[in-house]
Homo-oligomer: A and B are copies of this chain.
Amino acid sequence: MRTDRLETFADGVLAIAATLLILNVDTQVGEHVADLGDRLLEIWPSYAAYAVSFITIGIIWVNHHTIMEQVERADRIFLFLNVGFLLVVAFIPFPTRLVAEHIQHEGATAAALTYGITLTATAAMFNAVWFYASVGGRLLRPDHDPAAVKGISRSYLPAPWIYLAMTLTALVDPTASVILYGAFALFWVIESSVFGRARKQA
């Protein structure tokens, strides 16, 4: 099977999951708010959570883009691994709202744990998708770039463990873990784009 409908479906789920995040911000402001200006400043964690989750889904999209460039065919197992991967990605809006609402109040640990578990599962499923396709070159294009394949494997393999470590941080200090989630997203964006370009030019 060709991979084009897989990409359409994946892009659809990723685009919708990202765009639904705004509903989390929207519910923070009721219809009859006494002082709208104050309320809009008060809910800043919702904006931060929106931005971190949107960028995280953006990173997932860019990375899915990257691996699909090396993949030529899809078999049933590969399609269902992708469904499982999208299942956890589409879950992200829910813990995003939990973190935004609870990080400054009771329930911060439970919220930060749920967020972290979701992202750990996303990273693990992403690896399952990639290694199923790439081990032994199973589904790769005949003209795939072996250096790129190795580079992808090396850069994605630690991600679930890093997310697991950040998730466990939530047991000690939920605020710290949430800051780490955001910092890791920013780091990935900068590392893979700015430094990635510098490396390529070197």
Q: Is the CB of A36 within 8 A of B90?
A: no
Q: Say yes or no for A158: interface residue by CB 8 A criterion.
A: no
| CB proximity of A11 to chain B, nearest CB, Å | 5
List B contacts of A106 (CB < 8 A). 35-36
Q: Mark A23-59, 1 if CB is under 8 A from B, else 0.
A: 1011101010101110010000000001100110011
Q: What size tier do the contact residues of chain A reach?
A: 35 or more
In the bound assembly, the distance between CA atoms of A20 and B12 in angstroms comes to: 12
Q: Is the CB of B197 within 8 A of A22?
A: no
Q: Is the CB of B54 within 8 A of A83?
A: yes
Q: Is the CB of A20 within 8 A of B18?
A: no
Residue of B nearest to A62 (CB): B79
Which has the most chain B C-beta neighbours within 10 Å: A11, A33, A35, A37?
A11
In the bound assembly, the distance between CA atoms of A12 and B123 in angstroms comes to: 23
Q: Is the CB of B1 within 8 A of A94?
A: no
Which has the most chain B C-beta neighbours within 10 Å: A51, A75, A91, A194?
A91
Q: Which of A109-117, A139-147, A149-157, A159-167 contacts B (4 or more CB under 8 A)?
A: A109-117
- Of the A-B pairs whose beta carbons lie under 8 Å apart in the complex, a sample of 17, sorted by A's number, is A12-B15, A16-B16, A17-B22, A18-B86, A18-B87, A19-B90, A21-B90, A22-B90, A23-B23, A29-B98, A31-B101, A37-B110, A55-B87, A58-B83, A76-B192, A77-B193, A77-B194
